[in-house]
Amino acid sequence: MDDARVSEHRIPIIYSRIIASAVGRRAAELRQVLPEPPAAAVAGYMTGAQYEALLRAARRLSGDPLIALKAGANIPFSVHGPLGIAAMSSPTLGEALAVITRYAVLRSPFCRIDRHDADGEVVFSFHMDGSLHDQSDAALDFIISTIGRSIATLVAEPLTGFRLELQRERSATTREYIEILGCEVVFYAGRDAFVMPAAALSTPLRGANPEVFAEALARLRAMHLPHAPDASLQDRIVDVFVSRTGHLCSLAEVAQSLGTSPRTLQRRLRAQGSSFEGLREAWLSRQALDLLMRERLSVEVTATLLGYSEIANFRRSFRRWFGAPPSAYRRDGALSGAK
């Protein structure tokens, strides 16, 4: 693949936080091993070269060849922004997988997922573009464990009749693949793919919500395609927040993404009775509640996934939003009024 094209890959920086957590290091520590980003790099993302270096460093620092597989298995849905929300709120497993198949490229641009049907089974095959070189298998591990665990969570039952096929050779870690993914794993296969009974696609999902699904799908389309001419300025700004989940976007970064200047962006928002700070605070507070209350993540993990480098700063922000520290808010059952 052309090096210039590889350098254009944009991988969410939040994945560095998730992988760092699996390694047992602070995200900032692990990111120190990354090469300097090019001048045109977009805040909130890693380049393909940086992601490759991150995966290599994670394996070296942890001494665990399956560190990417284990990291991917612990990703909460909210980390995937509208992609995760759309999958969770889909009516059936088949519709959830259709969304994942079409839009996974927004999160992992080096991997294409195709579907085809054969003999009562449905095959979702993974095609890596080779840009991550010797870390392609690790990157694929991260993807398949994320999707495998997501499917198990969506249907809330073991993956009976499901299997994972991998082209790579069997190794001493084979049993760990089975334990982590909860399905049959076949090595020396002619493809990298999840295979499942066609009947499984009609499985209804407990989290089905037509309104939430439609809204999340609209956001995915806006990210995947040029913005609709009638999209509001506030919606376009929130779309930037969504696409860079895990990074605290600055006014300058968002303005650059929208092709304008910070001063002009602020002026247009004021004219509409809004502000950049207000939109960002509203977005972060909603994400904080989702991670703390529905995903039941710890305060430390929530702060990290939101992009806070210091937990104390997140605690102060949470108190400003809700009038109480996060631990007290959850303990006192405030979620009953926030759902």
The 8-class DSSP code of residue 214 comes to H
Categorize the per-residue pLDDT at 335 as very low, low, confident or very high, splitting at 50, 70 and 90: very low
CB atoms within 10 A of CB 269: 19
pLDDT, tens digit, for every residue of 1-58? 444 444 457 888 888 888 888 888 776 676 666 666 555 556 678 888 889 999 999 9
User: What pLDDT is recorded for position 35?
Assistant: 60
| Separation CA 175–CA 169 (nearest Å) | 13
Annotated domain spans of the chain:
3-202, 228-337
Cβ–Cβ under 8 Å, residues 193 and 123: yes
User: What is the second-level CATH architecture of the domain 3-202?
Assistant: Alpha-Beta Complex (3.90)
pTM (two decimals): 0.74
CATH code of the domain made up of 228-337: 1.10.10.60
pLDDT at position 240: 81
Q: What is the pLDDT of residues 96-140, one digit of tens each?
A: 999 999 888 888 989 999 999 988 999 999 999 999 999 999 999
Quick count: other Cβ atoms within 10 Å of Cβ 83?
24
Query: Which residue did the predictor score with more confidence, 84 or 6?
Result: 84
